[in-house]
Chains A and B, each alone.
Chain A
């Protein structure tokens, strides 16, 4: 652990030193105006924004699903040693977590349908920029919602497994709570659809 902490500190210090050096270099050579975060963001291609959104959407969703599966799964594993009957029943918690990843996949497919090659010589239109931004923030919303949803379902699934092993009657009751948890991911899905609803496909300036 100690070495990891040292390595991280060294990395942080190096990054900070490089950033300060670059900033001072630009400033002292009279080109300070080039250190311009807003301008940089405006110059980014809308493809960049859109594809970042798609990858965040699928990536964060899968992280959430995987994390949830492992939280629920390790408890099911331990609980099933004594009461093997819980193993099949509690697969439903695993499926709930898996659904979160499927939401991410569906949204990534819906988003990527809006990406198309721009053949115009005059570059991107305003509508293309809107599509890029909305895909980015829609994808981020879906990804974060699914990440949190996967964690929530995983923790509740772990509770359900442990409680089911102790008392069979508790399973259905905790399952209801788990369903409420898994709805959070659905909220993200709806918001993602609404945010990108008005975005047109990429066309360029005609």
Chain B
């Protein structure tokens, strides 16, 4: 029955977002981008894409950071157009998507304040999608209690903070713990909201969010090796959803090295295919830092994410396309920035390590 009512509020926006999807860079365009010799060539090639109007007024020696900023601007402009045209169920869904960026911004500001960086520099680095009114005030906070009672209580994130109010002081480890606790609460809340939206949206988003939860679980596990985080605390950071919840999560909470992680992941058919040939010894944070052909775990996760997000476009009349489009567009910006970095640093042999979308 959903098809009958869906277009009342979302028909126009779904058409728009599918149009945006058609604007994503395709394989032949990536071929052209990778064959560029200079940044000016790259800029010329990008002039045939949706980024043209955001790049045309940039002065000629184009820095990678500027390119990245302009591409993000393009993404934000498209997203905000949708937000402005959204009616009730979608507008809330789109807001939920931005909460993830808000969490990142909050953590960025707290970390920056801890290291006594300049507030204005920090605010410029924040992701524009995660901007909220009281955000600049975050820089004055020194304890979690302050943070919550002065700033965050009015933001949409207030509900997610309930679990980390016990953290005493702000140090590196605690900030990571806060980030992961927040993200966990956010994912669980988003998941239950999507389920409340009814069938096609619920099942499509469940697939995507379960994957996201699994990825976070694995990343938390890998990043906690060699830190003072106890195994019980580690288990508390895992989102309580996903394909690996609860069975594999209890196992992952006990492991000590990468080989054990790999053997647990291989019990899941979809991850087994994904992991084939991946070098687990390479640190997962250096994305694509290895020689070409030998991709890191993080790149494999990105490739899997792209595949899942492409699949959500196969079905009509659900909200998952909005989320998927944003994820694909982000991946595309990462690709462009990667290619630009390779070109500007004369590392052309690694230029093909991007994750192709179409």
Contacts and interface: CB of A to CB of B under 8 A. Distances in A.
Interface in A159-185: 159, 161-162, 165-166
B332 interface: no
Contacts of B277: none
B226 interface: no
A75 B23 contact: no
A81 B4 contact: no
B208 to A, nearest CB: 20
Given A82-B20, A158-B316, A166-B22, A76 B15 contact: yes
B12 A83 contact: no
B18 A70 contact: no
Given A77-B12, A78-B14, A158 B7 contact: yes
Interface in B21-51: 21-23
A188 interface: no
Contact of A70 (B7, B14, B23): B7
Contact of B18 (A71, A77, A151, A165): A165
A155 interface: yes
Interface residues of B, number: 17
B159 interface: no
A78 B316 contact: no
Given A75-B14, A162-B14, A67 B316 contact: no
A45 interface: no
A80 interface: yes
A118 to B, nearest CB: 42
Contacts of B22: 82-83, 165-166
A46 interface: no
B1 to A, nearest CB: 10
Nearest to A70: B7
Interface string A66-101: 010011011111111111000000000000000000
Given A78-B19, A81-B16, A81-B19, A155 B3 contact: yes
B4 A71 contact: yes
Given A75-B15, A78-B11, 6 more contacts: A70-B7, A74-B7, A74-B12, A76-B15, A78-B18, A81-B15
10 contacts: A75-B15, A77-B15, A78-B11, A78-B13, A78-B15, A78-B16, A81-B16, A83-B22, A155-B3, A162-B14
Interface of A: 67, 70-71, 73-83, 151, 155, 158-159, 161-162, 165-166
